[in-house]
Amino acid sequence: MTILKVTGLTILDERTGDTLVKDSSFQLKKGTCLAIAGESGSGKSLTCRALMRLNQPGLKETGTILFKGEDISLFTKKEMRKKRGREIYMIMQNGMTAFDPSSVIGVHLKQAAAEHFDWSAEETERKLHWALESVLLKNPGEVMNHYPHQLSGGMMQRVMIALALVLEPDLIIADEPTTALDAITQYEVMNELSRLRERIGCSMIFVSHDLAMVRKIADELLVMKEGEIVECGTVESVFRKPKNDYTSYLISTRQALSDHFTSLMGSREQC
Specify the pLDDT at position 253: 77
Q: ∠ at Cα 204 (85, 220), nearest 5°?
A: 160
Specify the pLDDT at position 132: 94
Query: Residues 173, 87: contact at Cβ < 8 Å?
Result: no
The answer to whether the Cα torsion of 111, 116, 120, 123 is positive or negative is negative
Specify the pLDDT at position 149: 92
Specify the pLDDT at position 254: 66
Across the beta sheet with 220-225, what order do the strands follow?
88-91, 171-175, 203-208, 33-37, 220-225, 228-234
Query: Residues 95, 179: contact at Cβ < 8 Å?
Result: no
pLDDT digits (tens, 9 = 90+) for 186-206: 888 888 898 889 889 999 999
User: What string of H, E and C letters represents the secondary structure of 112-146?
Assistant: HHHHHCCCCHHHHHHHHHHHHHHCCCCCHHHHHCC
Query: Residues 105, 144: contact at Cβ < 8 Å?
Result: yes
Specify the pLDDT at position 259: 47
Q: End-to-end CA distance of the chain: give it in Å, rounded.
A: 54
The full set of domains in the chain, from first to last, is 2-270 (3.40.50.300)
Task: Give the separation between CA 32 and CA 25, rounded to whole angstroms.
Answer: 17
Residues 6 or more apart in contact with residue 42 via CB below 8 angstroms? 224, 225, 226, 227
Task: Give the separation between CA 265 and CA 269, rounded to whole angstroms.
Answer: 6
Phi, psi (rounded to 5 degrees) for 222: -120, 125
Task: Give the separation between CA 21 and CA 233, rounded to whole angstroms.
Answer: 19
pLDDT digits (tens, 9 = 90+) for 209-260: 888 889 889 999 999 999 999 999 999 999 999 999 999 988 887 665 454 3
Element housing 26 (H / E): strand 19-29
Specify the pLDDT at position 106: 96
Question: Three-state DSSP class for 86?
Answer: helix
The β-bridge relationship of strands 203-208 and 33-37 is: parallel
Specify the pLDDT at position 266: 52
Specify the pLDDT at position 212: 82
- pLDDT, averaged per 10 consecutive residues of the chain (271 residues), comes to 96 96 96 93 94 94 96 93 93 81 94 94 95 91 94 90 93 87 83 89 92 89 95 94 90 61 46 46
Specify the pLDDT at position 271: 46
